Chains A and B, each alone.
Chain A
Amino acid sequence: MKEIVERHFQELVSEFKYLSLVHEEPEIFSIQGNIEFTSSYSEEIIHDSYNITIFIPSDYPNSPPCAQETGGRIHPSFHTHNEGTLCLASNIETVRIFDENRTLMHFVKALLIPYLHQHSYYEKYGKMPFGELSHGAKGIVEYYGEYFNTSNPIITLLLLKIIAEDNYRGHSICPCGSGKKIRICHGEKLLALKKLKPNSFFVYEYAECVFDGLESDSIPTELKSNYIYKKISNKNVWQHRSTTHSPTK
C-alpha cells in the first residue's frame, strides 16, 4: 500500500505543488497542504486555493480517501460530516466516481475540486451552481432518482430494492414502467451500481431510504421486503425502527 500511496502522491504533487505526504504510522497516511486551482463550469471560472488534509483509508485504493478543509474557511454547516470531513457527494456517488480511476489525482480533480469550486462560487454569489442534495435519507433517494433518471421516489426505490435484495433477473420486467425487460432498460445502471459495494451496503442504504427517505409515514406494500427485514432485524440499530415503522408483516 505504501508504494501505491507514494506513487499516487508523486503524480498528484506534480500538479498540486504545495502538498506534502505525511506518514504517521506504518499504514497511516495523510496529505496536507494547499491546493491551488482554476476550474470552470458553464462559463464561470474560479481561481482559488484551500488548505486541505486528505486522509488515506487503510484499504486504499479499494476505498476512496476523504478530505478536510483546515484553513477555517468552510463553515461546518456547508456540507461537512460530523467529524469535520467534507461531504463531497452521497456515499455511493463518491465510490462510483472514485471507481472510474482509483488515484489521488482523480479524487482531487473529480470530487474535491468540484466541491471547492461550488464552495467558492457560493461564497461569491450565495448560490450552488450544481445544486445540492437534501440532508439525510431524502437526499439519498434524490441521488438514486437522478442516477436512474426517474422522478418517482417509489420507482427509484423499487430499482434499488433489486440490488438490496440481491435479486437481479435480466429477463424480468423493469419496475420503471417501460414494459421492457430489465436487461435492455435499467439493467446496465443496476449492474454498475451493484459492483461498487457489497450487498450489505445496499441493504442498509435501502432500509434507510425506505424508513427515513419518504415523505409519507406509512411504507407502501411494494417496498416492503422480508429479505431486508431479516438482514437488519438482528441489528440493534434497526430494532427500534421496526416497532415504530413495522416495515414487514
Chain B
Amino acid sequence: MTDASNYSLLLDEIAAELDIPPSKYAQAVQRYTSVGEWLCGDDNSDCMDDPDVYPQGSFRLGTIVRPLKDGKESDYDIDLVFEIKKEKYATTSKEIKERVGTRLNNHGTYRRLLKPEGRRCWTLEYSETDDVGFHLDILPAIPKTPRTGAIHITHRSGNGTYEWSTSNPKGYAQWFEAKNITAFITLEKTQKNMLFESNRELFSSVDDVPNQLIKTPLQRTIQILKRHRDQRFANHPSHSSKPISMIITTLAAQLYSNETTTFEALKNIVFKLDAHANLQQHDFILEKSLADQKLILRTPDDKWIIPNPVAPEENFADRWHENNHERAKMFFQWVKWVREDLVDILAKRSVAQLTESIEPFFGERAVKMASSRLPFLTAPGIITLIPTNTPHIEITNPPKPWSK
C-alpha cells in the first residue's frame, strides 16, 4: 500500500475519533426525541399544533466534531429546531421564545439542565455518566416558506428586545446531502456492515444502522478541517476571527468532486481554496473554472461574499472586510496551514513519522487512538521510527538537470 493510502486511513481514523461514536449518537437521538416529545406534548397551548422537531447543523450533516474548550475536548453540541406551526402575523418573536422556555421549565429534569436564555436558543446541558456530555441547543422557530424549508427564528438583542431573523437549516441539509449522495451510495453497504459487526449491542440488523453514521470522504475532510482549525486557533491572538464552520462546510462541499479517499478529497479542496488566496490582492483575476463556481467573491466596494447556497442573499462572509480584512486574512492563513500541516507533510515524512507530527493539529488523544487501530503503520520490521543514521551524501561534481 502506498503512503498516501495509509495516510488516508489514518486521517479517517482520526476523524472517526473526533466524531460522535455510534453509542453516543444513539444516546443523543434518545435525548432529543424525549425533549421533542415533551415540547410537542403541551396540550394546554393553542400554538403547539403539530409542531416539527428536527436536528440541524453538523449533527444533521454528519460533520460533528468534539469541541475544544480551553484546549480540552468537551461536550458535543447538538442543534435542534423546534418549529411551531404558527403564522408570523399571529404571534411574536418574544412569545415563541418564551413559550418554549416555559415549557422546558415545567419539566423537573429539564428545569435543572436548562442554561440561562441564549440569543437564539435554549440550551440543555446533559452531563453523562461516561463524562462525555451534550449541549442540546433548541432553536424555537415558525415556518417562513414551507416549500423550501425556510423558517423565521427568534433573536434576542442585548437590550432584551426580540426580533425575527431567517434561516433554512432543512434546505441547507438537503443541498449538502445532494453533494454527498454519490459517495454515500458507494460506501453505504460496506460501512453499514462494518458498523453493524462492531456495534451488535446497538443494532438488531444491518438495516437498523442509521444513514447518519455513514461517512464519506467529504464528511471526514470537513471534520479534519474543523478540528485542525480549533487546534490551530486555540491560543491564537485572532482566535475570535477564525473561520466559521458554515464557511468551511459550504466551500468544502462545493469543491468536493467525489474523490474516493479522504486524503485525495482534502488535497483537492485545500489546493483549490489556496488558489483563492490571491483574491486578497486587488487586481487579481481568478482562473475561470474556479471563478465560475462563485465560491468566494470580492465586491467593488472591497467587501467579501460567500453566498449561502440555498439563500444567496445571505452572506457568510459579511464580516470579512472588518478590521482591515482580518477574517479574510485568517481564513487564507489557515488554508496555508492546512496545506503545510496536513498535505505537504506526506512528501516529507513517512506515515510512521508523521503520526507524531500531526498530533498538535488534532490532539494527542485522537491521534494516539487512531494510530493504535492501525498497528501496521508503526509495526516494527515494516517501518522503523526515525532512523538513527540517515545516509549522508557529499555532493561533488553534481550533474545539472535538463529537460526537453
B-binding residues in A (CB < 8 A):
15-18, 32-34, 36-41, 47-51, 69-73, 79-82, 86-90, 93-94, 97, 109, 111, 113-115, 117-118, 128, 130-136, 139-140, 143
Contacts and interface: CB of A to CB of B under 8 A. Distances in A.
Contacts of A47: 390
Contacts of A140: 402
Given A40-B395, A41-B395, A87 B401 contact: yes
A39 B395 contact: yes
A64 to B, nearest CB: 12
Interface string B20-41: 0000000000000000000000
B349 interface: yes
Nearest to B344: A73
B267 interface: yes
B158 to A, nearest CB: 49
8 pairs of A and B residues whose beta carbons are closest in the complex: A71-B347, A89-B399, A73-B347, A114-B398, A79-B401, A133-B402, A87-B403, A41-B395
Contacts of B2: 32, 70
A16 B404 contact: no
**Interface residues of B: mostly helix, strand, loop or mixed?**
loop
A33 B2 CA distance: 8
16 contacts: A32-B2, A34-B3, A36-B387, A38-B390, A39-B392, A39-B393, A39-B395, A50-B347, A87-B404, A89-B402, A93-B399, A93-B402, A109-B391, A111-B399, A114-B395, A117-B398
Contact of A49 (B349, B383, B393, B404): B349
B400 interface: yes
B198 interface: no
Most buried by A among B267, B346, B402: B402
B346 A136 contact: no
A38 B401 contact: no
Given A38-B392, A39-B393, A70-B2, A88 B401 contact: yes
A18 B386 CA distance: 10
A135 B349 CA distance: 31
Contacts of B400: 89-90, 130-133, 143
Given A41-B395, A89-B402, 6 more contacts: A36-B350, A36-B391, A72-B267, A73-B344, A80-B403, A115-B399
Given A17-B387, A132-B402, A49 B395 contact: no
Contact of B399 (A38, A69, A114): A114
B348 interface: yes
Most buried by B among A38, A39, A71, A139: A71
B387 A130 contact: no
B377 to A, nearest CB: 13
A38 B3 contact: no
Contacts of A37: 390-393
